Each structure stands twice: as structure tokens, then as C-alpha cells.
Amino acid sequence: MNKIITVILCLASLGLYAQDEIPMTASDSLSYSIGVVVAQNIKEQGFTKVNHYIVSKAIADVLQSEELLISQEIADVYFRNELSNVKTKQKLMSKKIGEEFLAQNGAKEGVVTTESGLQYEIMTEGDGPSPSATDKVRVHYHGTLIDGRVFDSSVERGEPISFGLNQVIQAWQEAVPLMKVGSKHRIFCPSDLAYGERQAGPLIGPHSTLIFEIELLGIE
């Protein structure tokens, strides 16, 4: 982005230049789009101690090969340290939010809490046999985070799945043998019965409490 556009954008950020008056070329649009992507990444990483004017200054210095106010090596250290702090806070917050959710959920009528901390409620009671911990079962399931976001669902794919119960997370190993064929249960999984501190895909972060609706279709 040339210096004229940079000045215009700075004036616009200060409210001195109306946004719809900024002349944007194709190159300017690309430049602005790059800024949007960078800013979204900053937000998604959880950084809160960010002065966007200083960020803009750093970007300009790098792109224009100006002398940096902080060396690349020191900048890397600052970034890695803060990223570590942010991730630690996110993990602790996720664990706390999950624990508070389960405490409230466990008090609801129809929700059973087992000794391990697993919670479940019976949506439909079947009349078939119950599987053992080593059986292979066929199920339909729908998995969400406690905020309702869907991270995996055989129901949405329209295709049931079969697997050995000794191949899945601990919550399932405990919950499915409590079911009878034809049953449908909703289970609430503490993070230590799911993926613990691990990241499991784009949505399941460390210490995530998970909710599954499971329909037991058969034992194979």
C-alpha cells in the first residue's frame, strides 16, 4: 500500500476521513484484505494486549525494510511467551467453564452422574441387549460443544458408524454399555473422559466438555 493510502487509512481510523471516501484500487483491496486476515488471526489466538497502531507500525517497518524498534529475535521471544500465556489461560478457562456447566447440568431432573463424573440422560429406552466393553457396536451420534457448535455427526452425514468400544474415548466406553439396543442417550463428557489437554480437530480445544446424542442401533 502506498504512502498516500496509508495516510488516508490512518486519518479514517481517527475519524478524519469518511470510510466510503477512501479510493481503493485492486492492490489496496488486497492490502486491506491481508490486514483483515491478520487481525482475525490475532483475535482468534486470544491476544488482548494489542495496540493496533503499533502493530501497523511494525508491519510497515518490515514491508518497507526500515530499522526495527525491536529485533526479530526479541520479537519472537515476546510473541512465543505471550502465546504460551494466552493458551494457558484459555485451557484454565475452558476447564472452569466445563466444570461449572456440569455442576449445573447434574442438578437437572433426569440427568444421572456416575462415579467417574460422566453424566447421561435417557432420551429413548430400548429393549434389546446391552453391549460389553469389548463389543463392536453400530451407532448414530451427534456431537456438540457445550455452546452448541457441532464438531462431528453421523446423523448429519446420514450414515451410522461401527467401531469397537475399546477404540473410543473413555466416556463412550462407559456410556454405551449402559445402553440397550434401540436406546438413545444424551451423554455429557468431562474433558478428562474425552480428550483431556489435547486439541482434537479445529473445534475441540484442550479441556473441552463434550455432549453426544448416541443411538445404539446394534451389536456386531
Euclidean distance between the first and the last CA atom of the chain, given in angstroms as a whole number: 63
- Give Cβ neighbours of residue 146 (< 8 Å, ≥ 6 apart): 97, 98, 101, 209, 210, 211
| Residue 187 contacts residue 120 (beta carbons within 8 Å) | yes
| Phi and psi angles of residue 114, each rounded to the nearest 5 degrees, phi first | -85, 175
Positions marked active-site: 141, 151-152, 169, 195, 212
DSSP letter (8 states) at residue 62: H
Give the up-direction half-sphere exposure of residue 186: CA atoms within 13 A in the CB hemisphere. Answer: 10
Residues 168, 95: Cα–Cα separation, whole Å: 21
Distance of alpha carbon 88 from the chain centroid: 15
